[in-house]
Amino acid sequence: MIPLDKLYEGKAKIVYPTERLDELRIVFKDDATAGDGAKRATLPGKGQLNAAISAALFRMVEEEGVPTHFVRSDGPDAMIVRKLKMVPVEVVVRNLAAGSLVRRLGLQTGATLRRPILEHNLKNDALHDPWVNATHVEALGIASAAELAEADDMAMRVNQALEPALAARGLILVDFKLEFGRDTHGAMRLGDEISCDTCRFWDSVSRTPLDKDRFRQDLGGVVEAYREVWRRLLGEDGEGA
């Protein structure tokens, strides 16, 4: 079989067409970027672990009734997904204060919140993914109010599905970023990835980060932390992730 040319290469993944018009193949890279691209590294094993973690979490989310793009894993570092027309908005859900929320609002890392916070960022590297609200999204024609409300509702359901499931595996789901899009039938689905690159996971006991914050903050042991998350999700030892 002749390999098809890639459609798109991003910071963390490469998107390929497949022989089906309604499906794509997404390959997870070992490359890591942080600080708006200022910091870069290649972390051998990261791509395979994020592919395995994403597959496990997409399955959990689907089981709780949230439609996703995930079709199946395809080799150790890739997944076959339904092709989506992406809504160029990142939906962030937060259960505890961390990262940019702490910086913006002067909170303590780990501060409890009275309810989950939902935030939106425009997906635009040149503008550094600026914070927008629902009225910006509607006013600028990025998505309709109904579409954003549907994505928000799905994001909250993802949180309700994952937070207790991860807690049962000794992980605190601190916050995460989701991307949504419409499939070829017009239905909204969760797309992209749910991994240690896009979620903050803390060990429930020590509250140490087991996610990309280890890279952002130079804490070391990045791939080891991703492997620990994978091991807790799948109950295996990391071989063949």
Q: Does 69 bind ligand ADP (CB under 6 A)?
A: yes
Site string for ligand UDP, 158-197 (x = CB under 6 A): -----------------xxx--------------------
Q: What is the DSSP letter of 6?
A: P
Residue 95 CB, nearest approach to ligand ADP (Å): 23
**What Å distances lie between residue 102 and 99, 105, 194, CA to CA?**
6, 6, 22
Of the two residues 89 and 96, which places its CB atom closer to ligand ADP in the complex?
A: 89
SS3 of the chain: helix, strand, coil, percent, to 5: 30, 30, 40
Stretch near ligand ADP under the rule CB under 6 A, chosen from 79-87, 92-100, 216-224, 228-236: 79-87
Dihedral Cα 6, 7, 8, 14, nearest 10 deg: -40
Two tokens, residue 117: 């916070």
How deeply is 44 buried, as exposed, middle or buried, from its count of CB atoms within 10 A (0-12, 13-18, 19+)?
exposed
Task: Give the pair of three-digit tokens for residue 206.
Answer: 């020590």
227: partner contacted, choices ligand ADP, ligand UDP, none (Cβ within 5-8 A by kind): none
Closest by alpha carbon to 144, among 192, 92, 191, 89? 89
Which of ligand UDP, ligand ADP, none does residue 177 bind (CB under 5 to 8 Å by kind)? ligand UDP
The contact mask relative to ligand ADP for 170-189 (x = CB under 6 A, - = no) is ---------x-x--------
Asked if 24 and 193 touch (Cβ cutoff 8 Å), the reply is: no
Name which of ligand ADP, ligand UDP, none residue 212 binds, using a CB cut-off of 5 to 8 Å depending on partner kind.
ligand UDP
Subset of 111-130 contacting ligand UDP (CB under 6 A): 129
Report if residue 29 touches ligand UDP, rule: CB under 6 A: no
Residue numbers at the binding site for ligand UDP (CB under 6 A): 92, 98-101, 129, 175-177, 198-200, 212
